Amino acid sequence: MSDRLDVRRTAKLYLGGKFPRSESGRTYEVEAADGRFLANAALASRKDVRDAVGAARKAQPGWAGATAYNRGQVLYRVAEMLEGRRVQFAHELVDAEGCKPKEAAAQVDAAIDRWVWYAGWSDKFHQVDGGLNPVAGPYFNLSVPEPTGVVGAIAPQGSSLLGLVAVLAPIIVSGNTVVVVTSRERPLPAVSLGEVLATSDVPGGVVNILTGDAEELAPILAGHLDVNALDLTGCAGTDTTELEVLAAENVKRVVRPPAEEPSFEPVPAGPRRILAFCETKTVWHPKGT
């Protein structure tokens, strides 16, 4: 009989491409669906939110300045790396959500496919929403969707991997950066996704992952004046009036939560989710003679 002690996992935040502990020093215990201890996770604070937004703002110009094709390749690389860790993520989903191994494997496959799907839209959604506008006079009038900037997001509380990917991928594919608050009870798949992102081609600061209490962190994100948009998908079934009032102070774009958490299957029929975090910019240019 072995007297070896288990190496207990201490899950940290993912901010600016690094894995710091919460500046508050707070942690909480994460349990499996059957009540077993899984890990200690960082309980993010107001200061952690500010640090995450700062990292996202610093990374946003460079990420938005990359070509659409390049961003698509980066997202595809994330899918490649998830494919190589399918067994790990499926095991984590079994623990976190209490689902059957076959169901967990199907969720991981769907999350991988979602990254690939959005990667494919990276250089195409502009043609769907943009275009050449007919105007009077010797001018070209062009409309193109551009990223909003820094997006704050509350991840789905039930779907700890597929739901998280369904929130993250459409935000970042257009050139936005994101600060996302994970599922409080099921944060470990998100933490592992942070480890994938850290070793992928995604620049540090493009995705920032906070574990902890969404009820505490969401108002901070909503009221932060350097956050340009807010995705409240993870607040499904709750009253978000207070958050929307806070967001209105700097005219944030808000994606309101559904009445209940969706299944995230099948994939969307088009790029509407991408365009929810874009602003249409119009340019006038004189025609040559």
The SS3 assignment for 277 reads coil
pLDDT at residue 289 in the model: 57
Higher pLDDT, 259 or 74: 74
Q: Mean pLDDT of all residues in the chain?
A: 94
Which of the 8 DSSP states describes residue 17? T
Mean pLDDT value of segment 62-75: 97
Model confidence band, residue 30 (pLDDT cutoffs 50, 70, 90): very high
66: containing domain: 19-286
Mean pLDDT value of segment 179-193: 96
Can you list the pairs that 137-144 forms with residues at least 24 positions away whose Cβ atoms lie under 8 Å? 138/286, 138/287, 139/284, 139/285, 139/286, 139/287, 140/284, 140/285, 140/286, 140/287, 141/282, 141/283, 141/284, 141/285, 142/282, 142/283, 142/285, 143/280, 143/281, 143/282, 143/283, 144/280, 144/281, 144/283
Give me the percent of the chain exceeding a pLDDT of 90. 85
Which of the 8 DSSP states describes residue 201? S
Number of domains making up the chain? 1
* 129: in domain: yes
* 7: in domain: no
pLDDT at residue 6 in the model: 80
pLDDT at residue 251 in the model: 95
- For the entire predicted model, the pTM comes to 0.94
Q: Is the pLDDT of residue 288 over 80?
A: no
Helix (H) or strand (E) holding 213: none
The tokens describing 198, both together, are: 């850290």
Residues 125-138: tens digit of each pLDDT:
998 998 888 888 88
pLDDT at residue 17 in the model: 96
The SS3 assignment for 193 reads helix
Give the amino acid at 35: G
E strand residue ranges, the chain: 9-11, 27-31, 37-42, 131-133, 139-147, 150-154, 177-181, 207-210, 229-231, 253-255, 278-286
Least confident of 57-66, 69-78, 136-145, 258-267: 258-267
* 72: in domain: yes
* 226: in domain: yes
Q: Is the pLDDT of residue 2 over 90?
A: no
* 4: in domain: no
Sign of CA dihedral 12, 195, 256, 157: negative
Residues 137-182: tens digit of each pLDDT:
888 998 999 999 999 999 999 999 999 999 999 999 999 999 999 9
pLDDT at residue 230 in the model: 98
Residues 219-277: tens digit of each pLDDT:
999 999 999 999 999 999 999 999 999 999 999 999 999 999 888 877 888 899 999 99
Burial class (CB in 10 A: 0-12, 13-18, 19+), 229: buried
pLDDT at residue 256 in the model: 95
Q: In the beta sheet, which residues pair with residue 180?
A: 153, 209
pLDDT at residue 269 in the model: 80
* 9: in domain: no
pLDDT at residue 8 in the model: 82
The CATH number of the domain holding residue 174 is 3.40.605.10
Q: Which of 102, 91, 217 is nearest to 160 (CA)?
A: 91
